[in-house]
Structure 1
Amino acid sequence: MARRLEGKIALVTGGTTGIGLATARRFAQEGAHVYVTGRRQAELDAAVVQIGSSATGVQVDSSQLDQLDALYQRISAEYGRIDVLFANAGGGSMLPLSEITETHYNDIFDRNVKGVLFTVQKALPLLAKHASVILTGSTAGSSGTPAFSVYSASKAAVRAFARSWILDLKDRSVRVNTISPGATRTPGLVDLAGPDASQQQGLLDYLASQIPMGRVGEPEEIASAALFLASDDASFINGIELFVDGGQAQI
Structure 2
Amino acid sequence: MSARAALITGGTSGIGKATAQVLHSRGYRVAVTGQRPESVARAREELPEDVLVLQADARSLADTDRVVSEVGERFGSLTTLYLNAGVSRPVTLDVCDEAAFDEVFAVNTKGQFFTLIKALPLLTDGASVIVTVGIGATRSLTGNSIAAGSHGALLAMIPTLALELAPRRIRVNAVSPGFTDTPMTRTALGTGSDDVPATMAEMAEKNPFGRLGTPEDIAGTVAFLASDEAAYVTGQEIVVSGGAGLAI
**TM-score (norm. length: structure 1):** 0.94
The partner residue of 1:12 within 8, 14, 18 is 8
Q: Is the 8 A contact 2:59 2:106 kept in 1?
A: yes
Deviation sequence 1:149-203 (CA, Å, 0-9, x none) = 1011111111112111011111111000000000000011111232899711122
1:21 aligns with 2:14: no
Alignment pair present for 1:99 and 2:95: yes
Which deviates more, 146-155 or 175-184?
Answer: 146-155
Give me the whole-angstrom Cα distance separating, in 1, the residues matched to 2:142 and 2:192: 21
Aligned to 1:185, the other structure's residue is in SS state coil
1:132 and 2:128 equivalent?
A: yes
Cα distance in 2 between the residues matched to 1:10 and 1:105: 30
1:21 maps to a residue whose letter is K
1:82 corresponds to which of 67, 73, 78:
78
CA distance in 1 between partners of 2:156 and 2:191 (Å):
34
2:179 to 173, 176, 183: 183
Aligned partner of 1:63 in structure 2 is 59
- With over 3 angstroms needed to count, the CA separation of the structure-2 counterparts of 1:231 and 1:85, relative to structure 1, is same
Query: Could you tell me how far apart the structure 1 residues matched to 2:211 and 2:124 are?
Result: 38
Q: Contact (CA 8 Å) 2:193, 2:199: kept in 1 or not? A: no
Partner SS, residue 99 of structure 1: coil
Q: Does 1:120 align with 2:116?
A: yes
8 Å contact from structure 1 (residues 9, 84) kept in 2? yes
C-alpha distance in structure 1 between counterparts of 2:129 and 2:146, whole Å: 24
Q: CA deviation at 1:54?
A: 3.0
- C-alpha displacement of 1:53: 2.6
Deviations 1:184-240 (A, max 9, x none): 000111112328997111221222133111110111111111100111111111111
- Segments of 5+ residues of structure 2 without an aligned counterpart are none
Equivalent residue pairs, number: 247
